[in-house]
Amino acid sequence: MNITYNEKNRIFKLDTPHSSYCIGVVDEENFLGHVYYGRRLSSDDLAYLMRTGEPPFVPSENNRERTAFLDTFPMEYTGHNLGDYREGTLSVRTLSGHTGVSLFYVSHRIYDGKKALEGLPATFGGADECKTLEITCEDPVLKLQVVLSYSIFADTDAIARSVRVINNGGEAVYLTKVLSACIDMDNDDYDMITLHGSWARERAIQTYPVRKGKQSVGSVRGESSHQEHPFMAWKSRTATEEAGDVYAMNFVYSGNFIAQIEESQFGSIRAMMGIHPEDFCWKLESGAGFQAPEVICMYSANGLGGMTRNFHELYRNHLIRGMYKDKKRPVLINNWEATYFDFDTDKLLDIAREASALGIEMLVMDDGWFGHRNDDNSSLGDWFVNESKIKGGLKFLVDEVNKLGMKFGIWVEPEMISPDSDLYREHPDWAIRIPDRVGSLCRNQYVLDLTRKEVRDCVYDRIAAVLRSANIEYVKWDMNRQLSDLGSFGLAADRQGELVHRQTLALYEMQERLITDFPELLLENCSGGGARFDPGMLYYSPQIWCSDDADAIERLSIQAGTALIYPLSTMGAHVSDCPNHTVGRTTPFDTRGYVALAGTFGYELDVTKIPEADRNMIPDQVAMYHKYNDLVRQGDYYRIARYAENHFYDCYTVVAKDQSEALVTYVQVLNRPNFHSRRICIPGLDPEKTYVIENAADWPEIGQTEYRGDTLHYAGINIPPISGDFRARLMHLTEVKQAHA
């Protein structure tokens, strides 16, 4: 890892372990241009790539045609309305109503380490783990300074980029668009990859050609959303799981976003990511600064699998914090699908007693324990224990659960307010809505206006009091409606455009406060399932509930889409009841266990009511979790086959960092009549090592044959057909240690 600046050719070169990223300063003009991003290069002699002197137009020699130059030049970070007709990264409106802005290089500095972003989640690393380049640019007319920041890491090929805008002019200016990163490069027959979904089917992988015009994904829902994801990749059309160029951007942010690729008239592409400009307008007073969130740029020459493992490495080492960062999580049982709102102390203790006898380690009390909430129509905001349900009080319940040797966790939804709540009756102006309009309800609730400090403090204090009242060791922080009707009773008219970003900052402030005040708490974020599964939230919670759909088969696609970017250690995954409450499908209990093993692992069912045969499997499943979780959490993940692609089976493996073992999960979704065995190639193993199937008893058809690592990778192994649908098996490969002479 290194960052250099060559004074002579005016090229910045950022070298990650396997990639180089180069930025050039154009002589005389001082425009900042993007020069190169890709495989690591040995030289920075690259100024010739900048296309400053080639037709059609040259800026310095022909000012008359300056717009044509600006409209083709690969800008490192763009201005607006001064010649570049492509959509750009920065837009402003001055008090006189003008929107022109153009940036020129002024200075730079390079230093060891990486600064935190004030009020925002961001990747981190010590002085020996990362280096940072800050390039300061300026619009000399507006006296608007823009600091572009790039951090690289010693252990992964990521570049963390962010942008800070400082108003050094004498009067306020409105920022109407401040994206966080831009990459202008030639299109090389790229395919674009984005993630799409809905409630209960989040993050389906979609691949399509980059074409002329603009293709974008985004969210204006006030959260990263079920529907689209703050991620895009563009890869060479021939790239595979193991080889070929892949570029990606992922936004470390949980509010509105846009990710866009525009292919220009000359075949170049402009990839950009940042806060969605819709409904965004930030008043920047003279002397004030605005910090745009971080974008992670990633390059892999080792195909999509390489990209995935780079992201996993980055997030495990440089984003996730806290006590549970590198630790196994307790196996939990959550009462939501077991009881919904219909529970009391007795019912919860029944579940806990049975669960503890089976080896389950934590009981989570979900929605319905506060106010007078017996369905989803009331009480959000009234964070007081409902003692007609929690008879004897919360402390009694938690103590009883602790006596069983189990931890206790609780569900909250701090960002919301029900119209039927004492909080709303006292403070109707604390809900986000537009005055003189009927506010739109969703799940019969409004979003609280957290931009107001008194609102944040009130809700936080109520929840903190509950957490202090008993030995609560886990919190599930939920968020069950998206933002609309944007209006704050607390913001001035010319600051209403700041609402969504301020709301996101407020969420971060509250979560930071929570994990600071309760450092031993295990926090799991959630949003109607997986609507806010993003790197921003991972900075606060080491795990996020992946989806409300816990059907083992649906989960194959949801978890594959999630694991495209995020480590398996972050994916909230449970064994749930059958017929599944979302799709009505019945799958074998062991299959549900194998699929949940790819995530945090837990149960979401009434353990007192499930069939005895299923219940009897739980102790073995818990033991399986303990046996494999270190490997699953810390190992390298390789996709082998995706059910969403082939419609018959799913297969992935996690390989230990020292390649001493691997766990292969194989799910035969549909059996096929009259079909021979299926060849599976298992990548990631050491070609020099010999492996054996440690759990050979589960593979009687194969037995304890020995294989070389390269044989498993390139020749593969034949998996026999299994009778029936929705069948799954694990294969644990362990290294055969050579006996020392």
Active-site positions? 478, 548
Q: How far apart are CA 331 and CA 644, in angstroms?
A: 28
Which residue stretch of 84-92, 184-192, 253-261, 522-530 sits at the interface with ligand GLA (rule: CB under 6 A)? 522-530
Q: Which two tokens stand for residue 682?
A: 């298992």
Site string for ligand GLA, 325-344 (x = CB under 6 A): -----------x--------
Q: How far is the CB of 330 from ligand GLA (least distance, A)?
A: 18
Q: How far is the CB of 548 from ligand GLA (least distance, A)?
A: 5
Site for ligand GLA in 690-709 (CB under 6 A): none
366 forms part of the interface with ligand GLA (CB under 6 A): yes
> Which of 190, 369, 411, 726: binder of ligand GLA (CB under 6 A)?
411
Count residues near ligand GLA (CB under 6 A). Answer: 12
528 forms part of the interface with ligand GLA (CB under 6 A): yes
Find all residues with CB under 8 Å of 84, minimum gap 6, and list them.
67, 70, 71, 73, 75, 78
Nearer to ligand GLA, 90 or 338 (CB): 338
Place of tokens 């900052």: 505
The residues that bridge with 218 in the sheet, in sequence order, are: 258
Closest CA to 2 of 11, 15, 12: 15
Q: Which two tokens stand for residue 706?
A: 């020995």
> Which of 408, 545, 601, 691: binder of ligand GLA (CB under 6 A)?
545
Q: How far is the CB of 479 from ligand GLA (least distance, A)?
A: 9
Which residue stretch of 88-96, 153-161, 525-533, 681-689 sits at the interface with ligand GLA (rule: CB under 6 A)? 525-533
Q: How far apart are CA 571 and CA 553, in angstroms?
A: 16
Q: How far is the CB of 532 from ligand GLA (least distance, A)?
A: 10
Q: For residues 85-116, b (16+ Cβ closer than 10 Å) or e, as one string?
A: ebbbbbbbebeeeeeebbbbbeebebeeebee
> Which of 44, 157, 367, 735: binder of ligand GLA (CB under 6 A)?
367
Nearer to ligand GLA, 321 or 581 (CB): 581
Nearer to ligand GLA, 548 or 606 (CB): 548
Give me the numbers of helices (H) and strands (E) for the chain, helices first please: 14, 38
Q: Is 457 in a helix, a strand, or coil?
A: helix
Site for ligand GLA in 616-675 (CB under 6 A): none
Q: Which two tokens stand for residue 651?
A: 């297969």
Nearer to ligand GLA, 293 or 529 (CB): 529
Q: Left if phi > 0, otherwise alpha if psi is -120 to 50, otherwise beta: which for 243?
A: beta
> Which of 354, 548, 590, 606: binder of ligand GLA (CB under 6 A)?
548
Q: Which two tokens stand for residue 145?
A: 């300074």
Which residue stretch of 150-158, 431-439, 521-529, 576-584 sits at the interface with ligand GLA (rule: CB under 6 A)? 521-529
369 forms part of the interface with ligand GLA (CB under 6 A): no
Q: How far is the CB of 200 from ligand GLA (least distance, A)?
A: 10
Which residue stretch of 278-286, 325-333, 523-531, 688-696 sits at the interface with ligand GLA (rule: CB under 6 A)? 523-531
Q: Taking CB positions, which residue lies at the least distance from ligand GLA?
A: 367
Q: How far apart are CA 603 and CA 592, in angstroms?
A: 10
Closest CA to 134 of 166, 101, 94: 166
**Residue type at position 592:** R
Q: For residues 409-431, b (16+ Cβ closer than 10 Å) or e, as one string?
A: bbbbbbbbbbbbbebbeebeebb
Which residue stretch of 93-101, 430-438, 524-532, 563-571 sits at the interface with ligand GLA (rule: CB under 6 A)? 524-532
The whole-angstrom distance between residue 75's C-alpha and the CA centroid of its chain comes to: 28
Q: Is 175 in a helix, a strand, or coil?
A: strand
Q: How far is the CB of 567 from ligand GLA (least distance, A)?
A: 21
Q: How far apart are CA 511 and CA 505, in angstroms?
A: 10
Site string for ligand GLA, 224-253 (x = CB under 6 A): ------------------------------
Nearer to ligand GLA, 233 or 479 (CB): 479
Q: How far is the CB of 111 from ligand GLA (least distance, A)?
A: 42
Nearer to ligand GLA, 448 or 655 (CB): 448
Nearer to ligand GLA, 590 or 604 (CB): 604
> Which of 480, 569, 621, 668: binder of ligand GLA (CB under 6 A)?
480
Give the side-chain half-sphere CA count within 13 A for 667.
31
Place of tokens 């402003």: 92
The whole-angstrom distance between residue 516's C-alpha and the CA centroid of its chain comes to: 22
Nearer to ligand GLA, 87 or 478 (CB): 478
Nearer to ligand GLA, 249 or 331 (CB): 331
Q: How far is the CB of 574 from ligand GLA (least distance, A)?
A: 9
Q: How far apart are CA 544 and CA 477, in angstroms?
A: 9
Closest CA to 431 of 459, 410, 466: 459
Nearer to ligand GLA, 262 or 413 (CB): 413
Q: How many CB atoms lie within 10 A of CB 435?
A: 8
Q: How far apart are CA 449 and CA 487, in angstroms?
A: 9
Site string for ligand GLA, 286-325 (x = CB under 6 A): ----------------------------------------
Which residue stretch of 176-184, 200-208, 526-534, 589-597 sits at the interface with ligand GLA (rule: CB under 6 A)? 526-534
Q: Is 711 in a helix, a strand, or coil?
A: helix
Q: Which two tokens stand for residue 111?
A: 């230093």
Q: How far is the CB of 526 from ligand GLA (least distance, A)?
A: 5
The residues that bridge with 192 in the sheet, in sequence order, are: 208, 234
Q: How far apart are CA 32 and CA 135, in angstroms?
A: 9
> Which of 84, 478, 534, 577: binder of ligand GLA (CB under 6 A)?
478
Q: How far apart are CA 468 and CA 445, in angstroms?
A: 27
Q: How many CB atoms lie within 10 A of CB 391?
A: 12
Nearer to ligand GLA, 279 or 376 (CB): 376
> Which of 293, 529, 567, 684: binder of ligand GLA (CB under 6 A)?
529
Q: In the complex, which residues of this chain contact ligand GLA (CB under 6 A)?
A: 336, 366-367, 376, 411, 478, 480, 526, 528-529, 545, 548
